Chain A
């Protein structure tokens, strides 16, 4: 063997990495591995210091008990791997228990909110969740994509795409919205071009698609400040696509960890005492919610 490292920059492992989009087994859900210990083993081998994880229900409209069981699974993983596993609270917006569930999870130390495909991110049902995130100064990571065929859309009719994020960001520019997995399937060029219109939206680089030029285009069109490294279970691909992109060291560090660290650092200190006031404020804000929504002409809402 000429080079034991197979021609990777020898420093690749030492660069700090903070995975903004990952999942764990727990509650009703298992993914493609037998134990969450495998996640830590993989992270150790790839030099990933921390992983922000969730357990979403990916089909249908789950009952609240199922949602809470998912979040209990995340909390268990956080306790088992303190400091390595950080948690997103998964909720289905619109359920009366959703805001209380967010409070419960943030009080337990979670760092953000995870939404899946139950509602478009601009749907009025999501307003209170976004307002809660703004109040708590935590990010919302939402499953997203732009499949290029009607058959794919039919599988997830409420899947949010980049244009949906543009709408939501115009209404809530102060929210920390993260569009999930640019490499999660779907037309990533379409997504990047749409997001030029929403400078407050972050884009995560996770997903199994490792197309050459994807990360560079996102940096060129959106700026390295808006990109967040993630794997979404594609561990080598997630790290490799950032290592393989033509970036400056500063850009790479921003994507690998600095941007996400900046988001984590904004979180408000949680506690029941701070909640009384904020909760009433939140309810008041919710009255304004429906009035905030007007669809902008010229912005595509349908594929």
Chain B
């Protein structure tokens, strides 16, 4: 069983991506035996008014909701986000939200950021925060966003420990700096099972309930994350937590729902 908490569909303005449609993503998931995935819009990051990207995402994933869990993209500095959030939940039936303070000009812990985090939390949603979307060293000259610092994420998690946080493309988060009661997952695509051993380190400082499998598709190749699960020196129950159980709990998925994987990529409209 595998749940990938870090996937996207859509277009990145600075590099051609492949497998970046719902069907393309599902084919990649099938190839790797990934049962379900949290997915958000890429180009929605760059829409001034992000909500149409949520409508596009909802439409594209509608036939694959048994496997794809669409997450909203919203900017809390843009007018009307509260109504857009309501529409995402009630009309589009999205399942959570992915935030980009580094692209949208706010901080997770300022008034705008906390207002959106609180509103999403009130819906029972998980809140995802990618530390980065792409590597800073190869960014386009118009892509000015800096990585979120681990301290910024730790501050936000500490301020809102009841929120279901998911840190994507995370690195440097230290469980010892976070409250025991905090609900958070750090996704493993930038962590390591061997050599630097950042996964074992996080297991030690945070515990096995705070890690989740993620690939970063279609930006990244999925195999490194699969390799980490394979070679991690940890009991099977810990690997199972990372592979899917922690994500299922955070996303409010029952085990029976998670187990219903089919071959959706081949499904006809």
Q: List 28 A-B contacts (CB under 8 A).
A: A6-B226, A6-B229, A7-B31, A8-B223, A32-B195, A38-B197, A45-B194, A45-B231, A46-B231, A147-B137, A148-B139, A148-B141, A149-B141, A185-B137, A209-B137, A211-B221, A212-B218, A212-B220, A233-B195, A235-B194, A239-B227, A240-B221, A240-B224, A240-B227, A241-B223, A241-B224, A244-B224, A245-B221
Query: Which residues from chain A contact B243 at a C-beta distance below 8 Å?
Result: 1, 6
Residues of A within 8 A of B138 (CB): 147-148, 185-188, 209
Q: Does A1 lie within 8 Å of B195, measured CB to CB?
A: no
- Other-chain contact of B194, A42, A145, A210, A245 (Cβ < 8 Å): A42
CB atoms of A33 and B33 under 8 A apart = no
Q: Residue B230 contacts which of A6, A184, A189, A233 (CB distance < 8 angstroms)?
A: A6
Q: Take A189-B15, A209-B135, A212-B19 as given contacts and tell me if A244 and B222 are in contact as well, using a CB distance cutoff of 8 Å.
A: yes
Closest residue of chain A to B259 (Cβ to Cβ) is: A2
Q: What's the dominant secondary structure at chain A's contact region?
A: loop
The A159-187 residues at the B interface (CB cut-off 8 A) are: 184-187
Whether, in the assembled complex, B240 has its beta carbon less than 8 Å from a beta carbon of chain A, the answer is yes
B interface bracket (residues with beta carbon within 8 Å of A): 35 or more
B219 within 8 A of A: yes
Among residues of B, the one whose C-beta sits closest to the C-beta of A34 is: B197
Distance of A235 Cα from B227 Cα, bound (Å): 10
A residues with CB within 8 A of B: 1-3, 5-8, 12, 32-33, 38-39, 41-42, 45-46, 145, 147-149, 152, 184-189, 208-213, 233-237, 239-241, 243-245
Give the residues in chain A near B248, CB-CB below 8 Å.
none
Q: How far is the CA of A213 from the CA of B19 in the complex (A)?
A: 10
- CB pair A2 B33 closer than 8 Å: yes
Taking CB atoms, residues of chain A closer than 8 Å to B139 are 148-149
- Nearest CB on A from B213, distance (A): 9
Given contacts A7-B226, A32-B196, A236-B228, contact A210 B137 (CB under 8 A): no
